[in-house]
Amino acid sequence: MVHGRMSVANGTPSVRIWVIGTHRVLGVVQQDETFEDLPANIRHLWAAHGDDAMWSSSIFGDFRVCPLTKSKPGWMQFVSVKSGVHLRIRRID
């Protein structure tokens, strides 16, 4: 479990989680970058806030991630997201 901020950015992978309190950014790997591999409650939270919500807001919460690569200082670690709890969305200004 990591406590972080999930957001969408340009580049691959486009979904990333900043682990709050650290300098670590986790890249969320998804097949075809379609967002269908994200847990349903995360997809629904973004969808409930409009079509552009993925690009204009971040989701804060506790994410259960499964590492796909080893952690290496200075490198983005790739993960898959298995679940998210205590989620709240905040618009990016």
CB 33 within 8 A of CB 10: no
User: How wide is the angle at C-alpha 35 spanned by C-alphas 32 and 41, nearest 5°?
Assistant: 155
Q: What is the identity of the amino acid at 74?
A: G
CA 24 to chain CA mean position, Å? 13
Domain count, the chain: 1
List the domain range (segments joined by +) for residue 16.
2-91
Closest-CA residue to 27 (of 76, 64, 85, 68)? 76
Total count of residues recorded for the chain: 93
The confidence band for 15, taking pLDDT boundaries of 50, 70 and 90, is very high
pTM for the complete prediction? 0.92
pLDDT tens for each residue of 53-68: 888 999 999 999 999 9
